[in-house]
Amino acid sequence: MHKETDTMDKTHLTKFYKKTPTERIEALVAAGALTSTDLTGTDSLHLTDELADHMIENYLATYDLPLGSALNFLVDEKDYIVPMAIEEPSVIAAASAGAKVIALAGGFKTTISDRIMIGQVALKDVPDLPLAKSHLLQHKKAILKKANAAHPSIVARGGGATNLLIRIIEADDEAATPEFLVVHLHVSTLEAMGANIINTMLEGITAYLEELTGGKALMSILSNYATECLATAVCQIPVDLLKRNDYTGEEVRDRLIEASQFAYVDPYRAVTNNKGIMNGIDAVVLASGNDWRAISAGAHAYASRSGNYRSLSTWKKADNGDLIGQLTLPLPVGSVGGSISIHPAAQFSKRLLGYQTAKELEAVIVSVGLAQNFSALKALVTDGIQKGHMGLQARSLAISAGASGTAIEKVAEQLKLAKNMNLATAKALLQDILALEE
């Protein structure tokens, strides 16, 4: 069930981080981000043993992750509360902080391409490549027809196979790899991520492709390199929103642009930059019930599309002096299918985010990636990342040392002031605190 209205009364969300989880749900209902049915609590969001046992083989137990909510997202003029499933302490705080500044600057503007997924049939031992290619092109219509006949329900809903591309991959003596003739099937999978639709269609055309080319099929499978399903988010931030401690807005802007240039030219930095982006993206993808491995694999391949691994994001100076950020990556997520429709936490995420279509989900996800990158870079080029991380790290250390209840905050507070913030110090502090309480 979706929330009834798109308007959100954000006054209920002030000091959100200070509330208990139950108070947060109440605040989200009061704000209009959830419906009153969610007031019954979050116990029902867990996977039951029965459901989990049906989802995978050899099921033993569920493995929990915290599910939190990032605030302040204004994407294409609409407010969102973003569900994120993640174990890393600082990610949600950083996403919310970045989104807050960007919302003050007018929010994210996104561009979402048509959602076309790609399937591959790899053929080997093709006796005459030019002839095979011309046969395939001559019979393109018939191949597409066969593909659609293999999955009529997606065609009935308005989707289906739309195009066929042929790629010849030359033999490489040095790598000792043979020649391949690769057929790409382009499919509009509508609201689904579409792996099953595509794989069914590919298997429906493979024998015909063998017949047309005289080759032998090696495999038929969806490609997770979804270059025909791209999402872009852009934001433009005036310098007066960028000031930070000893740095002027202009300095923060210029340093952030240099950080972006560094991540463009150096793969060692680019990987870390993109890992930060994927901190946010994967957390929303996971919360939404989508396949985060597919999104991650495609994103990193897209980062290498020039032949060098580069930053997925760019930060530049606008003519008027503002900072402009942009992030583009393949985002083949679905709004239906897979575990989206059966995992109760994914259903909750859908209610909380209130998205109606897979394109809308893409728009939010790519914006989260950009917010995450903005926050990380801003911290890195000013105060450094540790300052913000330490408070959260202190709580994790306190828990690792065995603290529970109110002792967690007490240990964490003292740890932040300690000379060495490590597990041994946390244990010693906990002992002192517990001794005082006895």
**Catalytic residue list:** 88, 275, 291, 389
Q: What are phi and psi of 66, to 5 degrees?
A: -65, 135
144, 159 contact by CB (below 8 A)? no
- Which residue do the tokens 């399903």 mark? 229
Count residues binding ligand MEV (CB under 6 A). Answer: 9
Least distance in angstroms from the C-beta of 45 to ligand MEV:
26
Which residues between 40 and 99 bind ligand MEV (CB under 6 A)? 88
Contact 66, 255 (CB under 8 A): no
> By 3-state DSSP, what share of the chain in percent is helix, strand and coil, each rounded to 5?
50, 20, 30
φ, ψ dihedrals at 316, nearest 5° = -135, 170
Q: Which stretch binds ligand MEV (CB under 6 A): 177-185, 270-278, 314-322, 357-365?
A: 270-278
Using CB under 6 A, pick the residue from 199, 236, 261, 272 that binds ligand MEV.
272
221 versus 392: smaller Cβ distance to ligand MEV: 392
Nearer of residues 190 and 366 to ligand MEV, judged by Cβ: 366
Q: How far, in Å, CA of 346 to CA of 29, rounded? A: 18
Part in contact with ligand MEV (CB under 6 A); list of ranges 1-9, 178-186, 268-276, 282-290: 268-276
Residue 328 near ligand MEV by CB under 6 A: no
| Angle formed by the axes of helices 358-380 and 249-265, nearest 10° | 110
Q: Which CB sits closer to ligand MEV, 373 or 425?
A: 373
The helix (H) or strand (E) run that includes residue 266 is: none
Q: State the CB neighbour count (10 A cutoff) for residue 238.
A: 17
How do 216-223 and 180-188 pair as beta strands? unpaired
Query: What is the Cα gyration radius of the chain?
Result: 25
The window from 146-154, 272-280, 287-295, 335-343 that contacts ligand MEV (CB under 6 A) reads 272-280
* Residue whose CB is less far from ligand MEV, 53 or 88: 88
Least CB distance from residue 281 to ligand MEV, whole Å?
Answer: 12
Residue 80 contacts by C-beta under 8 Å, 6 or more apart in sequence?
Answer: 73, 74, 353, 354, 364
**Binding segment toward ligand MEV, per CB under 6 A, in 123-131, 184-192, 275-283, 301-309:** 275-283
Shortest spacing between CB 109 and ligand MEV, in angstroms? 23
Residue with tokens 């595509």: 198
Using CB under 6 A, which of 157, 216, 275, 293 touches ligand MEV? Answer: 275
The dihedral built from the CA positions of residue 256, 261, 264 and 267, taken in this order, carries a sign that is negative
Binding span for ligand MEV by CB under 6 A among 215-223, 273-281, 309-317, 405-413: 273-281
| Touching ligand MEV, residues 160-199 (CB under 6 A) | none
Diameter of the chain measured on Cα atoms: 86
Smallest distance, ligand MEV to C-beta of residue 274, A: 8
* 251 SS3 class: helix
Report the residue closest to ligand MEV, judged by CB: 276
By CB under 6 A, is residue 276 in contact with ligand MEV? yes
On the 0-12 / 13-18 / 19+ scale of CB atoms within 10 A, 127 is exposed
Return the range that interacts with ligand MEV (CB under 6 A); candidates 212-220, 246-254, 269-277, 319-327.
269-277
**Least CB distance to ligand MEV at residue 255 (A):** 13
- Measured from the Cβ of residue 326, the count of other Cβ atoms closer than 10 Å reads 19
**Measured from the CB of residue 393, what is the shortest distance to ligand MEV in angstroms?**
12
Contacts to ligand MEV from residues 348-387, by CB under 6 A: 376, 380, 385
Contacts of 300 (CB under 8 A, 6+ apart): 274, 309
Map residue 217 onto helix, strand or coil. Answer: strand
Considering the complex, state which of residue 380 and residue 418 has its C-beta at the smaller distance from ligand MEV: 380
Q: Would you count residue 279 as binding ligand MEV (CB under 6 A)? A: yes
Closer to ligand MEV at the Cβ: 9 or 268? 268
3-state secondary structure of 179: coil
Residue window 97-126: x/- pattern of binding to ligand MEV, with contact defined by CB under 6 A: ------------------------------
Site residues (CB under 6 A) for ligand MEV? Answer: 88, 272-273, 275-276, 279, 376, 380, 385
